[in-house]
């Protein structure tokens, strides 16, 4: 006959048997594959950094301006964060601007940065031939990133399609070098050159909006649209009007937060429209309409973006399987305990 002391020993042996019968369950439930966990976290972190790291938007990298006009070198940086944007002239490695401040004694240089926007446009007033060259828009991230913009400043007097940029009228040859046929050819070339210059002077003005014809902008940011009108000398349009659909936009618009800047030069007029804190109501077409000229149109799409963190589940037993295994073990222990109690009672 079994005594209570013997039953205790049997119950302890049974408990050890039950607990040791599920080593794989304990191991899989309490341990993790460190290599897979590390690779998963690295994948998420690299993807996260790729989204949030500063990057340059696709803007023109070859800019042409005429002597005496303003030159605008675009640079748009997304996800700038707490970094700063610096403009540097590659010819002499001279820092021109840092942030919104100018670090050059030449007052012709300044940076155009509408508040809460990604635009950091370098503005050079009264461009000269010496201003031609490569400029770098730099971001002090880790690692540092930069985008080069090449500026070409042309003299309006040498703006004819002649080899090496030299007008044929500047080259003088003695008449005795040519025979009669060659003299006639020389005269006809001069006439053609004069005709080209007359056609260029009569050329109709051109109206264009810088950048793509469709813009995607995030809700709450600043919308900046630049309209450029190229016209013959002293033929600037009287005014440049902006429209959202058929509604005229000006400083007194009910929307509020409207800024319009217009600069006129000898051959070019630049008008820039800025809208603060865009909403869904700012969707649609925007047109730049100079006096007596056809308008230029751009479509704007306002959207909201939200960063989603990927959730990655590692391999292993599901919670339901582990719970079922433990429940079975507890049931066996309960049955053995009841059997022991019954033996003691009937003993």
Per-residue pLDDT of 130-139, as tens digits, reads 999 999 999 9
pLDDT > 80? residue 346: no
- Quickly count: other Cβ atoms within 10 Å of residue 54's Cβ: 17
Mean pLDDT, residues 27-49 taken together: 50
Predicted confidence band of residue 253 (pLDDT cuts 50, 70, 90):
confident
Q: Which residues make Cβ contacts (< 8 Å) with residue 88, sequence separation at least 6? A: 94, 95, 96, 135, 136, 138
Could you tell me if 57 and 78 are in contact, meaning their C-beta atoms sit under 8 angstroms apart?
Answer: yes
Mean pLDDT, residues 254-274 taken together: 87
306 phi/psi in degrees, rounded to 5: -135, 130
What are 55-105's pLDDT values in tens digits?
A: 999 999 999 999 889 999 999 999 898 899 999 999 999 999 999 999 888
Q: How far is the C-alpha of 233 from the C-alpha of 207, rounded, in Å?
A: 15
Mean pLDDT, residues 257-267 taken together: 86
54 phi/psi in degrees, rounded to 5: -60, 140
* Selected residue with higher pLDDT from 342 and 74: 74
Q: How far is the C-alpha of 323 from the C-alpha of 29, rounded, in Å?
A: 10
Beta bridge partners of 94: 89
Whether the upstream peptide bond of residue 14 has omega within 30° of 0, thus cis, is no
Q: How far is the C-alpha of 282 from the C-alpha of 114, rounded, in Å?
A: 18
Q: How far is the C-alpha of 305 from the C-alpha of 219, rounded, in Å?
A: 8
pLDDT > 70? residue 298: yes
pLDDT > 70? residue 203: no
pLDDT of residue 261: 87
Could you tell me if 329 and 18 are in contact, meaning their C-beta atoms sit under 8 angstroms apart?
Answer: yes
pLDDT of residue 251: 74
pLDDT > 80? residue 341: no
Mean pLDDT, residues 266-294 taken together: 89
Give the chain's count of helices (H) and strands (E): 5, 20
Lay out the sheet containing 258-264: strands in order across: 206-209, 223-230, 268-275, 258-264
Share above pLDDT 90 across residues of the chain, in percent, rounded to a whole number = 30
Pick the closest to residue 25 from 313, 346, 326, 332 (CA basis): 326
* Tokens (6 digits) for 230: 């190229």
Question: What is the pLDDT of the chain when averaged over all its residues?
Answer: 75
What are 138-183's pLDDT values in tens digits?
A: 999 888 899 999 999 998 655 444 333 333 333 344 444 444 554 5
């Amino acid at each position: 006959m079994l005594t209570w002391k013997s039953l205790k020993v049997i119950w302890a042996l049974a408990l050890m048997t039950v607990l040791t019968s599920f080593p794989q369950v304990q191991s899989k439930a309490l341990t993790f594959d460190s290599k897979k966990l590390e690779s998963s976290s690295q994948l998420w972190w690299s993807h996260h950094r790729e989204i949030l790291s500063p990057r340059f938007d696709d803007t023109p990298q070859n800019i042409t301006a005429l002597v005496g006009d303003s030159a605008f070198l675009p640079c748009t940086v997304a996800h700038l964060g707490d970094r700063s944007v610096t403009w540097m002239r590659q010819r002499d490695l001279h820092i021109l601007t840092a942030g919104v401040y100018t670090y050059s004694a030449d007052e012709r240089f300044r940076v155009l940065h509408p508040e809460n926007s990604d635009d950091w446009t370098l503005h050079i007033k009264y461009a000269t031939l010496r201003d031609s060259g490569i400029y770098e828009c730099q971001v002090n991230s880790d690692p540092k990133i930069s985008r080069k913009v090449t500026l070409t400043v042309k003299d309006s007097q040498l703006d004819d399609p002649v080899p090496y940029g030299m007008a044929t009228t500047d080259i003088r040859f003695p008449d005795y070098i040519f025979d009669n046929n060659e003299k006639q050819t020389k005269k006809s070339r001069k006439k053609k050159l004069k005709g080209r210059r007359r056609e260029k002077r009569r050329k109709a003005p051109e109206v264009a909006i810088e950048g793509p014809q469709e813009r995607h902008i995030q809700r709450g940011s600043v919308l900046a649209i630049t309209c450029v009108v190229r016209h013959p000398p002293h033929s600037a349009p009287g005014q440049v009007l902006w429209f959202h659909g058929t509604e005229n936009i000006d400083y007194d618009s009910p929307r509020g937060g409207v800024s319009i800047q217009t600069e006129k030069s000898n051959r070019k007029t630049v008008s820039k429209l800025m809208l603060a804190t865009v909403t869904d109501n700012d969707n649609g077409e925007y047109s730049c309409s100079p006096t007596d000229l056809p308008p230029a149109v751009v479509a704007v799409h306002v959207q909201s973006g939200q960063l989603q963190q990927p959730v990655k589940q590692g391999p292993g037993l599901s919670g339901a399987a582990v719970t079922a295994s433990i429940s079975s073990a507890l049931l066996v222990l309960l049955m053995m305990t009841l059997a022991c109690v019954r033996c003691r009672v009937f003993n």
